[in-house]
Chains A and B, each alone.
Chain A
Amino acid sequence: MWLAVIALGVLAGASGLLLGFAAVRFKVEGDPIVDKIDAILPQTQCGQCGFAGCRPYAEAIAAAEADINQCPPGGENGIIALAELLGRDPKPLNPENGVEKPKMLAVIDEQNCIGCTLCIQACPVDAILGAAKHMHTVIAKECTGCELCVAPCPVDCIHMTPIAQTIATWKWTYPIAETAVKPPVAEVAA
């Protein structure tokens, strides 16, 4: 009887020490879950989720103040990745936040630009170049396609154009389609 109590006591004590040690040794700094969520978000900074950028949305998800299906640029893949990270079930994109679209690029019609700098102020990643009363242009490499510059333009000279596929960006497709388009063949092998 006493032996059992002592043995269990020692065991419990040892486990406690081990856990305590582990808590100190493997302590994680900061709030990594926000970083992890932020890493999945596409960093478009478009605000379609209802937050002022990707980081605030990530913080809201981590604090359970926002759902995982509010990011249209991240799309289905993004939702699946978030669901996997947070151990939740994926759900369809909330239509209130927008729809998933192919990636776009903002292009300024330079003939019509009046140099008002409004789009420059709207761009969340400073991807528009220009100065007051001078023509502006979009740095294509840095544009996230967030569309935030479109609305402020007083002369409607900014258009979103789909990013054209080139040989450099072309990808091999998922092969299932290849077999699916064929009619079922009766003879499998001669």
Chain B
Amino acid sequence: MRFRTVTSPHILAEAGVAQLMRRVLYAMAPGIMALIWFFGWGVLVNLALATSIALAAEAAMLLARGKPAVAQLNDYSAVVTAWLLAVALPPLSPWWLTATGVVSAIVVAKHLYGGLGYNPFNPAMIGYVVLLISFPREMSTWLIPHGFGQPEAVTWSETLRAIFGGVMPERFAPDALTGATPLDVLRTQLGLGLNVAEIRNSPVFGIVAGSGWEWATLGFLAGGLWLVYTRTAAWQIPVGMLGALAVVATVFHVVNPQRYAPPWFHLWSGAAIFGAFFIATDPVTASTTPRGRLFYGAGIGLLVYIIRGFGGYPDGVAFAVLLMNIAAPTIDLYTPPRVFGARRE
């Protein structure tokens, strides 16, 4: 009897790329649900819009590059990019904003650099930064969080009209509908000479950090921990990033509590948790050695604090991640693990 031959190992683990990517999507679900609860249907529309544009752009690029489009579309990596970006966009962003961001991410940041596995920069963050630099006004008009179904909440039809028609709901006074994000508030008011305790009394703040935001953060933390538990995300990156952020924030807070917010505020604000578990852990653009990942995460945490505290933007996760993306190959070079049987240093 004759047989086919294939090289060993003859058995493989079940988790393929598609499964890993799907796990990331599942893990984002609790946080996304919290966002929808507080910011309305716009979040969902953004997600759907970004997903469809991302898939279309991915398919077009794969075809243009002569790759097996069907097989690679099924890897879900474009969907993950779309979701990461959509979550970071203001809930009533006009459709062209989402489209610009997604196309920058998929076409420029991913496929022009060689596609899945070859892009040096996190595509979602490239898309986000392109928007942040090009359209700063649109990117900073966040809705003021309200509970689901409350009279102040934006309705379905208002959402659709805002996103696709560019018409903001008329029944709100401009200040009642949108406002600055909590980190933005902290930044501007610190600039006005107020101290941290005074600013914290502002209504945008809740128990730990931004009201409403903090629940979404909790959701992302839960999902992120599950990712780490299932080994989908490397634990070293969130530990390194949040650890470094906490340490620096503590140091500054101890030195001058008036001027610098406490560490728990920093950890729980903006995209720190979301970034630590979902963005920085993108394996393609992160460091790959175990020790390197700690350094890589720590670098991001440090940069986030520097940008928040001293830079020109209220939050710095996107910039920090991109900057550390540049450093990742160098980090890898200097942090190889000690090979079994090699002499200990």
Contacts and interface: CB of A to CB of B under 8 A. Distances in A.
Answer whether A and B are interacting partners.
yes
Interface of A: 172, 175, 178, 184-189
Contact of B16 (A184, A186, A189): A189
A188 B6 contact: no
B284 interface: no
A172 B7 CA distance: 10
Contact of B71 (A172, A175, A184): A184
B6 A189 contact: no
Contacts, number: 24
B75 interface: yes
Interface residues of B, number: 13
B68 A184 contact: yes
A189 B14 CA distance: 8
A126 to B, nearest CB: 42
A184 B19 contact: no
A186 B70 contact: yes
Top 9 closest A-B pairs, CB basis?
A189-B16, A184-B68, A189-B18, A188-B74, A188-B18, A184-B71, A186-B70, A189-B19, A188-B71
A186 B74 contact: yes
Interface of B: 6-7, 14-19, 68, 70-71, 74-75
Contacts of B75: 188
A187 B68 contact: no
Mostly, the A contact residues are loop
A115 B6 CA distance: 51
A186 B74 CA distance: 8
Contacts of B15: 189
B71 A189 contact: no
A175 B17 CA distance: 20
Nearest to A184: B68
A172 B5 CA distance: 13
A188 B75 CA distance: 7
Contacts of A188: 16-18, 71, 74-75
A188 B74 CA distance: 7
Contacts of B19: 189
A184 B69 CA distance: 9
A175 B68 CA distance: 19
20 contacts: A172-B7, A175-B7, A178-B6, A178-B7, A184-B68, A184-B70, A184-B71, A185-B71, A186-B74, A188-B16, A188-B17, A188-B18, A188-B71, A188-B74, A188-B75, A189-B14, A189-B15, A189-B17, A189-B18, A189-B19
Contacts of B74: 186-188
Nearest to A185: B71
Contacts of A184: 68, 70-71
Given A178-B7, A189-B14, 13 more contacts: A172-B7, A175-B7, A178-B6, A184-B68, A184-B70, A186-B71, A188-B18, A188-B71, A188-B74, A189-B15, A189-B16, A189-B17, A189-B18
A188 B68 CA distance: 11
A182 to B, nearest CB: 11
A181 to B, nearest CB: 11
